[in-house]
Amino acid sequence: MNRITYLLFLLFLFLAGCSSAPVRPEPKSDPTAESWYAPAVEQLAAMARDAADLLKRGRADDAAKIITEAQPLMSRVLAASHPPLAAVEAASDLDELYGRMLVSNGRYGWARQMFQKNVMRWKNWQPQTPDTARRLKQAQSEIADCDRHL
């Protein structure tokens, strides 16, 4: 081995030894275990119930306001890697209400999109229960209704 090759080899070894160890990402905390999570899910479910009640009483504008206000909270609770059933049910209820409101306004394409979110939620939910199967069937039926109008 000639002298230049030897020096380059030593330089390479030196520089290789200077590299830092790979940085391991810190494990993400599970938001479902945080103190704010359960009350946020309860609040989201209450908003869904309030919006449904307002819609039944013919106050669609007030229901729409609640649904809109619930969106940031819904995003926050659904950001968990495995949100609990109660959080998914509350989000599903709000999306279903919004979809029904869109249908009543003749916005079938947008409504279909809301119902499709619920199809995906309940199709992939494990473990399947009679209630999750009912919710899946309902969302599929609502999509079929939208498709008839498109």
Tens of pLDDT, residues 104-124: 999 999 999 999 999 999 999
The predicted-structure confidence for 116-146, as pLDDT tens digits, reads as follows: 999 999 999 999 999 999 999 999 999 999 9
Q: Are 96 and 118 in contact (CB under 8 A)?
A: yes
Q: Give the position of tokens 């209450």.
A: 46
Position 6 scores a pLDDT of: 65
Alpha helices in 57-84 (DSSP H): 60-78
Model confidence at 30, pLDDT cuts 50, 70, 90, reads confident
Q: What is the average pLDDT across 87-112?
A: 96
Which residue type occupies 123? K
pTM of the predicted model, to two decimals? 0.80
Model confidence at 70, pLDDT cuts 50, 70, 90, reads very high
Name every residue whose Cβ is closer than 8 Å to that of residue 4 and which is 6 or more positions away in sequence. none
